[in-house]
Structure 1
Amino acid sequence: MVDLTDLRTDLTDESAQLDDLVGALPPDDWARSTPAPGWTVGHQIAHLAWTDHVALLAATDPDAFLASVTSAPDPTRLVEDGAEAFLAPPAELLARWRVGRVALTEALAAVPAGEKLPWYGTRMSAASMATARIMETWAHGEDVADALGVTRAPTGRLRHVVHLGFRTLGHGFAAHGRAVPTAPVRLELAAPDGGTWAHGPAGAADRVVGPALDFCLLVTQRRHRADLALVATGPVADEWLDVAQAFAGPPGAGREPLVGRGRAAGAAV
């Protein structure tokens, strides 16, 4: 069980890594297109700033958070509208993101133990909220890195994305309108430090193995499974790799394969 203090530190560090990537960018680079259709580098940071803002509301003023949900002009466009609302000139946006993310980490520390925060379609503990913010910051950071042609080295903070990706197995199936499987799945991933991160019973017939980075790219829908070195054994594990998503809400469109049709890298046996 991860300590909230450690989670807050990792969230701060993940945000700082992305800040290092965008902090000194010239204005033209903020307008670069990212792999997310219609989203620039600026949109990616604006989305993070907006999500930190609504997470802060959930942690400090649940009624205001719920009011922001019920008063939304189009609930199906919350994410898009939030990013557009927070989009601003780079210096202003950067300052707002920095202030907001610090305020959120401080607010999460003040959430009473056992209290659940309202969120979109669910309720979350402070630890779960911090884990989700790490996942989102890392995933949108990947979009920014792709836009800038930068390859980021994976860190041990990916363990939080792995944890969330495994915990949301059933959600991925349900979000795609499929029956949630009852068969257990074993997940064994090669960690950035050379170790192994494992989840699920060791004797499970259904298994997914491969690099932790590839699993994180899959569950955040930053890469198509055909481009990843993940191997699924068993029908449940194989189907999971088609529907996995670590984020709340309806299924995303995902990314088109880069290596062409088929499953050249992500195999099923």
Structure 2
Amino acid sequence: MADPTPVIDDLRAEGEELDLLVAELGPEGWALATPAPGWTVAHQIAHLAWTDHSSLLAVTDQAAFSREVEKALAAPGDFVDNGAEEGAGKPPGRLLAYWRAGREDLADALRAAPEGARFPWYGPPMSAASMATARLMETWAHGLDIADALGVTRTPTDRLRHIVRLGVRTRDFAFGVHGLTPPFEEFRIELTAPSGELWIYGPEDAASGKVTGPALDFCLLVTQRSHRTDLALTAEGDDADRWLDIAQAFAGPPGEGRAPKGPDQ
């Protein structure tokens, strides 16, 4: 059973780094538009706070979480946006405090979770390590949108290893959510970490395909924060090439992704 401590520690660090971007913003900063259509900086933080709260319920109060699932089923196309909209309407100071408290409470609950425990979610049940990984992925991805709105370039770290692993593990999900049959065999995946380390997945002699490139670009792809044509990822084999067109590490229906920026941007 995977020890969740390293990813929980990295989740905390990711949240603290994003916190530094928004802590001193005035009302005009919170109102800035981000690349997600209709979402401001406030919406992005509100969404993170909302999902942290849902995750905390899943870990500590499964009856209350079941009621949240019923709400989601009643409005499947709107419940995420509704949660972000409600949170974004709070004064920035209150929203920031709510997000801080929620992410701290979730980290504590995940650390205290019994070994081997699995928690309900909107998709399949998750372990503490899986839940922390999903929260880190979202914190990083929504943090990118916020950084873009603020005109800030974030320095990638090897915390990306968790998102890479999640992106690799969700390969078959990405095929399935597009109505495609996943390849039977694993791909060979070789990605260069921000530190220069090589992260490798899959057998060396994989016949079904191979993906290579920077780990940062792979994370941008599977979180759909950049279009494939703007990334330095290479696919060998038809199945691997198709995967790079549809990859997503997050639950739910196929994401719309981002439009290509082109060579001049």
Q: Shared fold by TM > 0.5?
A: yes
Give percent identity, aligned residues only. Answer: 60
Q: Distance in 1 between matches of 2:41 and 2:202?
A: 37
Unaligned runs of 5+ in 1: 261-269
Q: Match for residue 243 of structure 2?
A: 240
| Cα offsets for 1:128-177 (capped at 9, x unmatched) | 00011110100000000111111111001000000000000001111111
Q: Distance in 2 between matches of 1:227 and 1:219?
A: 13
Q: Match for residue 126 of structure 2?
A: 124
Q: Distance in 1 between matches of 2:198 and 2:71?
A: 45
| Cα offsets for 1:33-67 (capped at 9, x unmatched) | 10100100110000000000000000001111111
CA 1:2/1:125 → structure 2, altered by over 3 Å: closer, same or farther? closer
Q: Match for residue 92 of structure 1?
A: 94
Q: Distance in 1 between matches of 2:77 and 2:66?
A: 16
Equivalence map 1:154-193=2 (5 Å) = 154-193=156-195
Q: Distance in 2 between matches of 1:176 and 1:150?
A: 34
Q: Distance in 2 between matches of 1:46 and 1:66?
A: 21
Contact 1:183/1:236 (8 A) holds in 2: no
Q: Match for residue 35 of structure 1?
A: 35
Aligned-partner residue type, residue 5 of structure 1: T
Q: Distance in 1 between matches of 2:126 and 2:105?
A: 18
Aligned-partner residue type, residue 28 of structure 1: E
Task: Report the Cα offset of residue 79 of structure 1.
Answer: 1.2
Aligned-partner residue type, residue 78 of structure 1: F
Counterpart secondary structure, 2:189? strand
**Mapped pair 1:251 → 2:244:** no
**Mapped pair 1:133 → 2:151:** no
Counterpart secondary structure, 1:223? coil
Q: Distance in 2 between matches of 1:111 and 1:24?
A: 34
Q: Match for residue 62 of structure 1?
A: 62
Q: Distance in 2 between matches of 1:31 and 1:196?
A: 39
Contact 2:188/2:211 (8 A) holds in 1: yes
Using structure 1 for the length normalisation, give the TM-score: 0.94
Counterpart secondary structure, 1:75? coil
Q: Distance in 1 between matches of 2:41 and 2:252?
A: 23
Task: Report the Cα offset of residue 84 of structure 1.
Answer: 1.4
Q: Distance in 2 between matches of 1:71 and 1:45?
A: 21
- Runs of 4 or more off by more than 6 Å in structure 1? none
Contact 2:71/2:79 (8 A) holds in 1: no
Task: Report the Cα offset of residue 29 of structure 1.
Answer: 1.0
Task: Report the Cα offset of residue 2 of structure 1.
Answer: 5.3
- Matched length: 261
| Cα offsets for 1:218-246 (capped at 9, x unmatched) | 00000000000000000111000011000
Unaligned runs of 5+ in 2: none
Task: Report the Cα offset of residue 78 of structure 1.
Answer: 2.0
Q: Distance in 2 between matches of 1:54 and 1:43?
A: 16
Counterpart secondary structure, 1:119? coil
